[in-house]
Chain A
Amino acid sequence: MTTPLRGVRRAGSAALLAELADLADVLALRAALERERPEGVRELVAAARTLLVTYDPAVTGQDRLSRTVAERAAALPEQGGPATQETDYDTLVVPVRYDGPDLADVAELTGRTVREVIDRHTAPLYTVAFAGFMPGFGYLVGTDPVLHLPRRSEPRTAVPAGSVAVAGGFTGVYPRSSPGGWQLLGSTDVPLWDEDRTPPALLVPGRTVRFEETT
C-alpha cells in the first residue's frame, strides 16, 4: 500500500508537522482527521505541503499521534481525491472589478490580452484550500495554470482591502489593507471578515468560490 505521507516531524512539545506530496493530499488528510478527531487534537493548520496538528500533551503524545496520522494517511484513497470537501456552504460568488494595478503586467508576463486574463480568471470554480497570512485571507486553488505567477519582486507596503490577487498558483483576496507581494488583478467590495458574524470569514476552508466580472 502506498501512502501520501512523506514524513512526520516534531514541532515542539505539543504539535507535529505532517508532510505530504501535494496540496490535494494535505486537504484529504485534514478532512479525514476532521471527520473523526483523534483524542487530544486541538487544531489543524493546512498549508501547501504540510498539515500542522497541535495537541494537548496531557491527553496524547508525539509517538501515539504520529502513528494515528500515519494510519489515517495510509487509508486515504489513491490520488488524494478532489480538493473540494463537503461543507455546509454554497458557492460564494465574488463580484470583481478587474482594474488591478498589475493587470497589464500580468497580461504581458503571460503573453495574453487583458481580456483573456480576465476570462481565464473568471472561468474556474475555485476552492478555499486553507487560510493564513491574516484573518480571513483564504488561499484558493483552481487558478488557471496560465495565471500561475510568482510574487512581485518588490512587495507593496500597502495592498488595499478587497484586492483580488494571484501568486504561487493561488488566488487570494485581501480582507483588509496590508503589505503584500501578490499580483493585483482587481478588487471587490465583499466584506470577507466580520468578527460579529459566525463564522467571521466568508472564505472558509473547503468552500467553493467563483469570481464574476463587474464594473
Chain B
Amino acid sequence: MTLQDMDTVARTVEILTPGPLATVQDLGRPGWSHLGVSRSGAADTTSLTLANRLVGNPEDAAGLEITFGGLRARLRLRRPDGTPATGYLALTGAPCPATVNGRPAALDAPVPVRDGDVLSLGMPSSGLRTYLAVRGGLTPPPALGSRATDLLSGTGPAPLRAGDTLPLGDPTHPMPGVDHAPRSAPPTEFLLRVWPGPRDDWFEEPSLKTFFTTRWEATSKSNRIGIRLAGPALRRCRTGELPAEGMVRGALQVPPNGLPVLFLTDHPVTGGYPVIGVVHEDDLPLAGQIPPGAGIRFSAAR
C-alpha cells in the first residue's frame, strides 16, 4: 500500500445507519441547465455554508444533508503512518439530539472528535434537514464539477446506505476563532416572500388572492425536487396547454389539480404548467427546512 492509499483509507466517514435519507451535498453544479441538469446542492445552503465555516472548510465543501435525522456514522481519522488523529465536525440546520460516543454534541459549533468516534443523531425537533460538515470536507468523486446528489437526474453519489465509506479531504484553511454561531431554530409555520408570475395571469383574480391569504400545508409527498402543497384548489382563467418553459428553483408551479408544487433544489429544468409565483431567492434556504405537515404562508415580495 502506498502512502497515498493509506492516506485515503485513513480519513473517512463510515455510514453505520443513514436514517430516512442522507445525501452528500455541496453548493451544486450551476451551468448545466442547457443540457437538462439543474443545479442541485444543499436544500438549505445557509446551513451547509455555516457548518463548513465552523470547521474551517471552504463554504462550498461537500457535507452530509440528513433528512429527518436518524444518522449514525463513524469517523476514521488516522495519520498517514496509521496513528490516531483528531478532527472537528459541525452540525447545523434542523436541530436534533446529537451525541458523539454517547456524550451530547453541541449544534452550530465545532465539535472536536477523535479517530473511531461515533456520531448519532435523533429526530429533529423542528425543521427537516440537518447538515454535517467534517473538517477537510467529504471528497467522493465529483460528477460535472460537483459532489451533490441530484435525486431527479441521478447525477452525483447515490443516497447513502449503511456500510458506505466517504473519503475526507485534507484541511486547507485554519480553524476559525468562532466556538459557537447560534441561530434561531426553523419555525413551525413558514413565511416566504413570493414574486408573482411569470404566469400569474393564467389564474382567476380570486385565486390569486387565495394564494396569498391561505395557510398552505406541506404534504408528505415532498422531497428535494419539490414540496406538494395542500389547500384550496387554484382556478385557472385560461384553458389550453402552456408550451414547456424554463423553471427556476423556488417556482410555484400549478398543475391541473390546482394545488401548487414549490420547486426545490433538484427541480426539473423545464415544466409545462403555469408558475403562479416564485419564492424570493433569499428565502429558499428556509424553504429547504419545511417538514411535512408544516404551515406555509406567502407574502408578496417587493
Give every chain A residue within 8 A of B270 (Cβ-Cβ).
45, 47, 132-133
Give every chain B residue within 8 A of A46 (Cβ-Cβ).
34, 246
Q: Are A45 and B33 in touch, CB under 8 angstroms?
A: yes
Whether a CB of chain A sits under 8 angstroms from the CB of B159 is: no
Q: Are B31 and A43 in touch, CB under 8 angstroms?
A: yes
A25-58 to B contact mask, C-beta < 8 Å, 1/0? 0000000000000000011111111111010010
Decide: A11 near B197, CB < 8 A? Known: A43-B34, A133-B268, A136-B36. Answer: yes
Whether a CB of chain A sits under 8 angstroms from the CB of B195 is: yes
Whether a CB of chain B sits under 8 angstroms from the CB of A205 is: yes
Whether a CB of chain B sits under 8 angstroms from the CB of A159 is: no
Whether a CB of chain B sits under 8 angstroms from the CB of A148 is: no
Q: Are B279 and A12 in touch, CB under 8 angstroms?
A: yes
Cα–Cα distance between A13 and B198 once the two chains are bound (Å): 11
CB distance from B118 to the nearest CB of A (A): 33
Quick one: which of A12, A43, A46, A135 has the most chain B CB within 10 A?
Answer: A12
Give every chain A residue within 8 A of B290 (Cβ-Cβ).
none
Which residues 215-248 of B sit at the A interface, judged by CB distance below 8 A?
Answer: 243-248
Q: Are B280 and A13 in touch, CB under 8 angstroms?
A: yes
Which residues 25-48 of B sit at the A interface, judged by CB distance below 8 A?
Answer: 30-37
Whether a CB of chain B sits under 8 angstroms from the CB of A201 is: yes
Cα–Cα distance between A195 and B279 once the two chains are bound (Å): 31
Q: Are B36 and A134 in touch, CB under 8 angstroms?
A: yes
Decide: A12 near B36, CB < 8 A? Known: A43-B31, A48-B243. Answer: no
Decide: A11 near B37, CB < 8 A? Known: A17-B246, A47-B270, A48-B243. Answer: no
Which residues 106-156 of A sit at the B interface, judged by CB distance below 8 A?
Answer: 130-137
Q: Return the contact of B246 from the options A45, A135, A200, A201 (Cβ within 8 A).
A: A45
Q: Are B34 and A52 in touch, CB under 8 angstroms?
A: no
Decide: A137 near B36, CB < 8 A? Known: A49-B243, A195-B143. Answer: yes
Cα–Cα distance between A204 and B35 once the two chains are bound (Å): 7
Give every chain A residue within 8 A of B247 (Cβ-Cβ).
52
Give chain B's interface residue range (CB within 8 Å of chain A). Answer: 35 or more
Q: Are B36 and A14 in touch, CB under 8 angstroms?
A: no
Cα–Cα distance between A201 and B244 once the two chains are bound (Å): 21
Whether a CB of chain A sits under 8 angstroms from the CB of B281 is: yes
Whether a CB of chain B sits under 8 angstroms from the CB of A6 is: no
CB-CB nearest in chain A for B150: A135
Give chain A's interface residue range (CB within 8 Å of chain B). Answer: 35 or more
Q: Are B243 and A47 in touch, CB under 8 angstroms?
A: yes
CB-CB nearest in chain B for A15: B248
Decide: A17 near B36, CB < 8 A? Known: A48-B244, A50-B245. Answer: no
CB distance from B287 to the nearest CB of A (A): 12
CB-CB nearest in chain B for A47: B245
Whether a CB of chain B sits under 8 angstroms from the CB of A10 is: yes
Decide: A195 near B155, CB < 8 A? Known: A9-B198, A13-B301. Answer: yes
Whether a CB of chain A sits under 8 angstroms from the CB of B275 is: yes
Decide: A52 near B197, CB < 8 A? Known: A43-B34, A135-B35. Answer: no
Q: Are A131 and B35 in touch, CB under 8 angstroms?
A: yes
Give every chain B residue within 8 A of A11 (Cβ-Cβ).
195, 197-198, 246, 248, 251, 275, 278
Give every chain A residue within 8 A of B279 (Cβ-Cβ).
12
CB-CB nearest in chain B for A12: B278
Cα–Cα distance between A136 and B37 once the two chains are bound (Å): 8
Decide: A47 near B198, CB < 8 A? Known: A12-B280, A42-B30. Answer: no
Whether a CB of chain A sits under 8 angstroms from the CB of B250 is: yes
Cα–Cα distance between A52 and B249 once the two chains are bound (Å): 12
Which residues 245-302 of B sit at the A interface, judged by CB distance below 8 A?
Answer: 245-248, 250-251, 268-270, 275, 278-282, 301
Cα–Cα distance between A46 and B248 once the two chains are bound (Å): 13
Cα–Cα distance between A54 and B269 once the two chains are bound (Å): 12
Give every chain B residue within 8 A of A57 (Cβ-Cβ).
281
Complex A-B, nearest 8 residue pairs according to Cβ-Cβ distance, in ascending order: A52-B246, A12-B278, A45-B246, A9-B198, A132-B270, A48-B243, A131-B36, A50-B245
Would you mind naming 5 contact pairs between A and B with Cβ atoms under 8 Å apart?
A9-B198, A10-B197, A12-B278, A14-B248, A15-B248
A9-B197, A48-B244, A200-B35 given; 20 more Cβ-contact pairs under 8 Å: A11-B195, A11-B197, A11-B275, A13-B301, A17-B245, A42-B31, A43-B31, A45-B33, A45-B246, A48-B245, A54-B33, A131-B269, A132-B36, A133-B270, A135-B36, A136-B35, A136-B36, A137-B36, A176-B154, A195-B143
